[in-house]
Structure 1
Amino acid sequence: MKKKIIFLLAAIVVVSCSTKVKKPEARSKFLKGFSTYYNTLFNAKDALNSEFTARDKEHKDNFYAPYIPILTYEEQPLGSDLGQSAAFAENSMKMAEVNRSASTRSAPGMPPGMPGNNPVPQNADGTENPGASVLEIAEAKALKAINKYSVIRKGEEQNKTIFDAYIILAQSRIYQGKYLPALDALNYVFTHMKEDKRLPLAHVYEALAYAQMKNFHKSEEIFAQLKSEKINKDHEKILSIYYAESLLDAGKKEEAVKELDRAFDLNGNRKLKSRIAFLRGQVLQEQGKSDLARESFLSAYKYANDFEFEVKSQIEIAKTFNGKGNYEGAKDYLEKISKKGTYGSRKNEFYYALGLMANKAGKKTEAQEFFRKSLLEKVSDSQVRGLAYYEIGKSYLEKNDYIGAGAYYDSALVAMTYEPSKILLQDQSNYIKKISKNYYLIKKNDSILSLAKMTEPQKNEYFAKYIEKLKIKEEKEELERRKAERSKGFDTGDYNANSIFANGGGSFEDFGVAAKGFYFSNNNTVSKGSATFKQVWGDRALSDNWRYSKKMASLEDLKNEALGVNTAPNPRRFEPAFYIEQIPTDAARLSQLKKDRDTASLGLGIMYQNYFTNTSLATKTLYDLVDVKPEEKVMLQALYEIFAMNYEKNPQVAARAKQILLTDYPYTSYAEFARNPKNNNFVKSSNEVENAYKTAYSLYESEKFTESQGEIDQIILKYPKDALVPKLSLLNAFNAGKMSGKEVMILQLEQLVLNYAKTPEGIKAKEMLNYLKSDLKFQATDNKGNAVQNNQQMVGNPTNQAGNIPQNKINQQNQIQQNKNVQPMNNQKNGVPKKPQENELQTVPNAVPANPFGK
């Protein structure tokens, strides 16, 4: 029996070492499966596992992104028997070396440089590429295993181990971003291994590849099909994870939460359960379901297997506080755990979380105290430090203290590490700087104008009170200075653990110099000491009491600078006359101050709406501007902005602006807009509207302008959101021009620009206005349409001066009749504007198309 066994083994060795090349159909199924697993395929698996292990070690969760990933590749999430035992892993390097030396020889019948012939990718000249990534090596080795050991008979793969090779090949390609080649590899499995019980795993990676390509429809179709089948539990685990993440990527959050519930139940690994629960909490918190999110974060904390995850889970639990629960109990809990053991190193994060809780509980002052405490603690997370600065800045912004808000926002930008947050905050910081400029200009000019209106006794009384406050302030500062002077020579430093002066030695620190000696004899130690001093104390001038007299600009100094107040002491600062002399008395200068103030106020109101969508504050600011009676163009713009931002959501607030426009400025385009505001949210054009346009256009061609206008008004009233409304309005402007003259046409075009500025018709209307206004002359009128006594002719926009249509143009029918022949279009039926002469503006568009559905 022993002889027979020895003979059989010898025969196996001879056959396996044979140099004769056989076709895939003739290869031994047993031998090839054995060789594949214990030779090339092992190295492919080892390379892939090495990549997963390296990725996990390098993985650092970004808890400020919308979602964390579930898998960090610590455990190979393959769902099939591709993991290696401890003993197998111990021998991996030894076997890899054997295979590496063997792989330098070409396989029988295989030309050098073939992807299946070498364990690592090759250069163009056939040499080995030592710079190949681990995933490229895994891909190349999987291909080699497939090319050398595939056994196909009658269209079916006989070597079942090749399935593992194709899964490794697909994985290595997916993680390199080669999604189509990965699908090609999987298609081979679906074609030649139809009966393999592991096919569901291949379909999981097929769905993953489609999800990575953003083909969520196809991906979900495959995942849903797999869920309806009875599959291996290991396959089901990985399916639930990938399916949940693909649903999130597709924006289907409700379905994703359900799938995460399923993934949590299926997976028993503590780390995976913790990460799944944390992700589920993030999704629920985003949906505003604070109670459910809190439960998920509690589960994440319960199963957490590392300190970082414990801390972040606790902070997220605090964030879910809705202000209605036991705030004092939650506060006491967080304050206690922040003092326990290693949690003490994360005090700054716990104080930040406490600040958020206090805000939700309505305790604004207490919240600010916690945020400031967070800034005083050692930094464990720079993003949290930036967020604490941001929260303090927000409190200043709520009080309209833009200098303070800007200062803290700038600090937040420096500290933050999460780039999307920094981008958003940078925009807000820029907005605040723009608002701040206008805000303090208004305050400064208001103050000057208010002082200018005072009588001489009132001015003296005002500045006498100011001087008394100034004296009290300076006396207090002098007392503090003398107190510090008396303390000179005494050690009043705060020797805490963070201070560079906290060491016990009586001499200067040598800052890394091995041999002790006189500090100032070594230039390197002096340089390092200076840098460390500036880091701790800032850039201080050489003066007595340097620790007390902090030479830094305070927020108060910055505000005074914005208001134009000089903080440097002046010898005459206690004389009322010193201040009174600086108040302007010239009427022209005061008028300019008023104009600057009104323009800044208009900009401020618009910025409140555009930058922060604070409609109520924007409306109040603009109504305050209206009440001080600015010049006409500023008044019109302010009224228009108030009406435009309120007429849909707050019609009662918009009513006053509309009334002023219709009463005081009835002939302006702004009044027209107030009478009939349009909606730009158009739907697809209906057949009825298209037919009505054709009818109106035909009437226009027949010079039946009144009938054409009536048809247009009727159809717009019936279908105000139809896509053809801007085109109908443009045709109506031409009807108005034919019936009432160029000035009325200009009015209609201005309204068209206001209502539909971004449509092609709005753009063309604007171009036509440039042409029509280029030679327009008419008599000046007042706000009521009455002719001004001087008959000076004005050129340009009627709203630039009086903002109205000349009364003589409205009342004199013979002039109107003349205007029908002095129009911006000729008498041809196609309604195309007349061709400008060589000396005229060449900007007239073909606004009314010959084809109703043309440009």
Structure 2
Amino acid sequence: MNTSFKIIISIFCVALVVTSCSRKKDSFINRNFHALGTKYNILYNGHIALEQGRETVDNAATDNFWELLTIERMQEAEDIFLPGQSKNQDFERAEEKAIKAVQKHGMNIKGKEYNPQIDEAYLLLGEARYFDQRFIPAIEAFNYILYKYPASDKINTAKVWREKTNIRLENNELALKNLKRLLDQEELEDQDLADATAIMAQAYINIKSKDSALTQLKVAAEYTKKNREKARYNFIIGQLYNEFGQKDSANLVFDKIIDMHRKIPRPYYINAHLAKVTNFDMETGDKLEFEEYLTDIEENRENRPFLDKIYYHIAEYHRANASDSMAVVYYNKSLRTNTGDKLLKSYDYSTLGDMNFDEANYRAAGAYYDSTMTNQKLNSKPYRVIKKKRENLEDVIYYEDIAQDNDSILNLVSLSDADRLEIFTAYTNDLKAKAKEAQEKAEAAERVSTGMATTDNNKVGKSQRADPNAKNGKQNFYFYNQTTLSFGKNEFVKIWGDRELKDNWRLSSSAINKAKNQQSGAVDSLATNEELFDPEFYISKIPSDQKVIDSISKDRNFAYYQLGSIYKEKFKEYELAQDKLEKLLLNNPEERLVLPSKYNLYKIYVELGLDGKADTIKNEIISDHPDSRYAQILLNPSSEFAKDENSPERIYEALYAKFNNQEYAEVISSAEANIIKFEGDVTVPKFEILKASAKGRLFGFEDYKEGVNYIALTYPNSEEGKRAEVILREVIPLLARKEFSDNNDATHFNVLYPFEANQKDEINAFVAKLNDAVSKVAYFDLTTSIDVYDSNTTFVVVHGLKSAQGASGFAEILEENKHKIVRDFYSISSPNYEIIQRHKNLNEYLASQ
């Protein structure tokens, strides 16, 4: 009986389980069986996967505390994924669990869902897609909950998540409208209220309504139950207060974050301290107490991972406190932490560059700006600002190098033999000491490497393995020894300077390397081992030829003039400009530099309020150079004589008009005269490039190439010089082609009528007759022109013909019709016409036909 009873009970239980698995039958057992299975199995594992994925996203995101934080710590990826692809396996697993819950445990009977956990499944599905940054599928899941489960206890949560997704899709106004309606109609629980107001704040920030965002963030920070969110919301509130200029209110909020201390992630705690450091009032604050506060932050061992930022903010305090030397120390400390924060590096380098710039140490400033740009986003606005600053320093660095080098050389020229010997004896003694120290280091490194190799050989003997780079017990491969490698690097820099890694690096032609080659390091590189330590070797390199000395002095004086102009015009550094120009006038400059230097000094004295000096030099200009345009400007300052017909700008404009009128010979001669007349003026490179273009049009490609090359070498730091370098590199190779193309490949042809250049009346009469004939041709769009070929020949050209035969036939028709235009002519394709005009090789073309 007991056995039969057990069998009956077992059959009953099996039947109960089987019937309860049905998803198409609404019963108490069915509903609870599927609900429990969904909640405690599938959704439980799905939520675990979702949290793991969120933690991964959270760890991958990097907060930029230099800017206003986003409400949600999630960095949107730029990668594009196909439908069905996932960025994160945890989110993919969470999505799979949500779908499984719907497919395996959904009880949709006659359009109604009887499993109370399915709305949770759709919510999990939407959240997984949201964090996987698939926002369109995510919003579909949230909308499905709102459509199918209006009575769900998760309906408000779904509404909040839908608006979060709308904000990610940049539908900020729609999200705000829906959230406002939600807050008006529903009384949300604490966390839902925090989430709703937080994302409203993000929408307000996105539409630049930050005062409204501040109000919503205060609510979110009060009602959220998560300490991480509370810290983040409060930090953003503090940032907004700072933007509004309310530093006291911001500090109160940052104090709230600091009071949470170990309850929150360390970055919020440290950056709250640093934000308070930034807000310190230098006028009313207790500096002694504040410096103790800074010291405590710096010396706290727990803050070591954040020393890069801490040092930077301490440096900013010292700079604001007019303690520049301490500021420099801490900026460099910040850089030496090897921080991975590129934005912080750019701030450090940029500030150090600005400090050196303010002190007129332009070479160092340029180096710091170079480092700044390597840590900025390419072509961003801050990058372009720094790049512009750096470009403005090119000229001053170049001419400062020349001035310093040539001053040093001329100083050595002026010394007695005894003084020269004393200087170079001290120099060679220093070289000997350094060489001895380097040799000792190399020998020590050799001993260390030998000992290491011996130890390695012992190990090799035990393991029967040989080091392929070891020979006879020594580790001989140069790049494996860090000491000798460092020594080699130092020697390379000493000999060659800081060379860019590129082909033909020994032939570098940059302006900086040109200047460096004039320094003693270049002399060192030419010396043998015996000469390197011999003072007489260096003394023998001091120029003694008067022509060489005069050339050096001339270059130095021109560099002084350029520096005076640059400091005055570009940087408004009037004291520096005054110093350079006054030194120039004391160094017996060329006559061409005297007058513009005096005039610039007059303008500088006026700017500096040195009225006595201004009047003296003004009288010198008027009395010594009464016919100059500078004297006329000083005598008639209100007439704007600087822009009269005698100014270089007006002369250039007139010459350019002549160039467009094909008066090339006149342009060349006038440009040459004005280059001499205005030498030292900023307009000279413009005259040079106009002259080169005119010579190219009149004499051909080789003359143009020669002129452009001269400009690139002579004026490397002017806009025209830089443009000439681009032309040499990119345009000249294209223009050099002289091969004629096949007429069968061309689609545009011309007819050329040659004249002697001095037959101007005949040319004009012929063109009038030709234009009359051309105007009657309706089936071609024909035009005519007068083109200078060279100094002896001018072409009258008919343009717009479609074939070589058509061009010849057209000319023959003109000979035969009533116009009777009878003259020698050539038919030529447009590409070949460009070549003969460029290379002046008409005879070669005619011979090839």
TM class, shorter-length: 0.5 to 0.7
**Would you say 1:392 and 2:352 are equivalent positions?**
yes
**Would you say 1:138 and 2:81 are equivalent positions?**
no
- Cα distance, 1:211 vs. partner? 0.9
Cross-structure match for 2:136: 180
Q: What secondary structure is seen at the aligned counterpart in 1 of 2:280? A: coil
Structure with more of its chain in helix, by fraction: 2
Cross-structure match for 1:231: 188
Cross-structure match for 2:701: none
- Cα distance, 1:45 vs. partner? 2.8
Asked if 2 retains the 8 angstrom alpha-carbon contact of 1:67 and 1:282, the reply is: yes
Cross-structure match for 1:664: 642
Change in Cα spacing, 1:265 to 1:516, as seen in structure 2 (3 Å) is farther
Q: Distance in 2 between the 1:342 and 1:528 partners?
A: 44
Cross-structure match for 2:519: 565
- Cα distance, 1:214 vs. partner? 1.4
**Would you say 1:401 and 2:376 are equivalent positions?**
no
Change in Cα spacing, 1:409 to 1:187, as seen in structure 2 (3 Å) is same
Q: Distance in 1 between the 2:456 and 2:177 partners?
A: 64
Match for 2:429 among 467, 478, 490? 478
Match for 1:442 among 394, 399, 407? 399
1:729-782: CA deviation from partner (whole Å, max 9, x where unpaired): xxxxxxxxxxxxxx9xx99xx9xxxxxxxxxxxxxxxxxx99975689999999
AA aligned opposite 2:280: F
Asked if 2 retains the 8 angstrom alpha-carbon contact of 1:440 and 1:562, the reply is: no
**Would you say 1:249 and 2:206 are equivalent positions?**
yes
- Cα distance, 1:234 vs. partner? 1.9
**Would you say 1:17 and 2:21 are equivalent positions?**
yes
1:392-435: CA deviation from partner (whole Å, max 9, x where unpaired): 33322333333323434455667x5xx63996776566556533
AA aligned opposite 1:540: F
**Would you say 1:355 and 2:357 are equivalent positions?**
no
Q: Distance in 2 between the 1:253 and 1:303 partners?
A: 26
Q: Distance in 2 between the 1:531 and 1:131 partners?
A: 42
Asked if 1 retains the 8 angstrom alpha-carbon contact of 2:26 and 2:114, the reply is: no
- Cα distance, 1:437 vs. partner? 3.0
**Would you say 1:53 and 2:48 are equivalent positions?**
no
- Cα distance, 1:133 vs. partner? 2.9
**Would you say 1:319 and 2:278 are equivalent positions?**
yes
Q: Distance in 2 between the 1:465 and 1:370 partners?
A: 46
Change in Cα spacing, 1:560 to 1:394, as seen in structure 2 (3 Å) is farther
Asked if 1 retains the 8 angstrom alpha-carbon contact of 2:369 and 2:386, the reply is: yes
AA aligned opposite 2:543: F
Q: Distance in 2 between the 1:25 and 1:661 partners?
A: 104
- Cα distance, 1:15 vs. partner? 1.8
- Cα distance, 1:374 vs. partner? 4.2
Asked if 1 retains the 8 angstrom alpha-carbon contact of 2:24 and 2:108, the reply is: no
AA aligned opposite 2:519: V
Within 5 Å, which residues of 2 pair with 1:600-615? Answer: none
1:462-492: CA deviation from partner (whole Å, max 9, x where unpaired): 833999699569638837966996999899x
Match for 2:324 among 364, 384, 393? 364
Cross-structure match for 1:168: 124
AA aligned opposite 1:326: D
TM-score, structure 1 normalization? 0.53
Change in Cα spacing, 1:605 to 1:160, as seen in structure 2 (3 Å) is farther
Change in Cα spacing, 1:131 to 1:225, as seen in structure 2 (3 Å) is closer
Q: Distance in 2 between the 1:510 and 1:49 partners?
A: 55
AA aligned opposite 1:228: D
Change in Cα spacing, 1:244 to 1:836, as seen in structure 2 (3 Å) is same
Q: Distance in 2 between the 1:563 and 1:295 partners?
A: 59
- Cα distance, 1:200 vs. partner? 2.2
Cross-structure match for 1:272: 229
Cα RMSD, aligned residues only? 6.6
Within 5 Å, which residues of 2 pair with 1:1-12? Answer: 12=16
AA aligned opposite 1:196: S
Asked if 1 retains the 8 angstrom alpha-carbon contact of 2:400 and 2:559, the reply is: no
Question: Where does structure 1 lack aligned partners over 5 or more consecutive residues?
Answer: 74-120, 453-458, 494-498, 609-613, 643-655, 673-742, 751-768, 784-795, 802-821, 827-833, 844-855
Cross-structure match for 1:215: 171
**Would you say 1:539 and 2:486 are equivalent positions?**
yes
Match for 2:784 among 822, 837, 842? 837
Q: Distance in 1 between the 2:251 and 2:378 partners?
A: 24
- Cα distance, 1:186 vs. partner? 2.3
Q: Distance in 2 between the 1:538 and 1:290 partners?
A: 53
Cross-structure match for 2:215: 258
Within 5 Å, which residues of 2 pair with 1:641-680? Answer: 662-666=640-644
Change in Cα spacing, 1:564 to 1:450, as seen in structure 2 (3 Å) is closer
Asked if 2 retains the 8 angstrom alpha-carbon contact of 1:348 and 1:385, the reply is: no
Q: Distance in 2 between the 1:182 and 1:664 partners?
A: 69
Change in Cα spacing, 1:34 to 1:442, as seen in structure 2 (3 Å) is same
1:587-612: CA deviation from partner (whole Å, max 9, x where unpaired): xx999999999889888989x5xxxx
Q: What secondary structure is seen at the aligned counterpart in 2 of 1:540? A: helix
AA aligned opposite 1:317: K
Cross-structure match for 2:543: 578
Change in Cα spacing, 1:446 to 1:600, as seen in structure 2 (3 Å) is same
Change in Cα spacing, 1:662 to 1:513, as seen in structure 2 (3 Å) is farther
- Cα distance, 1:196 vs. partner? 3.4
AA aligned opposite 2:487: R
Within 5 Å, which residues of 2 pair with 1:579-728? Answer: 581=546, 583=548, 585=550, 662-666=640-644
Asked if 2 retains the 8 angstrom alpha-carbon contact of 1:541 and 1:551, the reply is: no
Q: What secondary structure is seen at the aligned counterpart in 2 of 1:420? A: coil
Change in Cα spacing, 1:780 to 1:514, as seen in structure 2 (3 Å) is closer
Count of residues paired in the alignment: 600
Asked if 2 retains the 8 angstrom alpha-carbon contact of 1:510 and 1:516, the reply is: no
Q: Distance in 2 between the 1:579 and 1:323 partners?
A: 59
TM-score, structure 2 normalization? 0.54
Q: Distance in 2 between the 1:173 and 1:345 partners?
A: 34
Cross-structure match for 2:299: 339
Q: Distance in 2 between the 1:421 and 1:289 partners?
A: 34
AA aligned opposite 2:311: Y
Q: Distance in 2 between the 1:433 and 1:275 partners?
A: 38
Asked if 2 retains the 8 angstrom alpha-carbon contact of 1:139 and 1:169, the reply is: yes
Change in Cα spacing, 1:13 to 1:409, as seen in structure 2 (3 Å) is same
Change in Cα spacing, 1:596 to 1:170, as seen in structure 2 (3 Å) is same
Cross-structure match for 2:414: 463
Q: Distance in 1 between the 2:383 and 2:217 partners?
A: 35
Q: Distance in 1 between the 2:247 and 2:218 partners?
A: 17
Within 5 Å, which residues of 2 pair with 1:369-388? Answer: 369-375=329-335, 387-388=347-348
Q: Distance in 1 between the 2:322 and 2:474 partners?
A: 51
Q: Distance in 2 between the 1:351 and 1:591 partners?
A: 48
- Cα distance, 1:248 vs. partner? 3.0
Asked if 2 retains the 8 angstrom alpha-carbon contact of 1:68 and 1:279, the reply is: yes
Change in Cα spacing, 1:342 to 1:447, as seen in structure 2 (3 Å) is closer
Change in Cα spacing, 1:671 to 1:186, as seen in structure 2 (3 Å) is same
Asked if 1 retains the 8 angstrom alpha-carbon contact of 2:135 and 2:169, the reply is: yes
Change in Cα spacing, 1:290 to 1:665, as seen in structure 2 (3 Å) is same
1:634-679: CA deviation from partner (whole Å, max 9, x where unpaired): x9xx99xx9xxxxxxxxxxxxx99968842324699999xxxxxxx
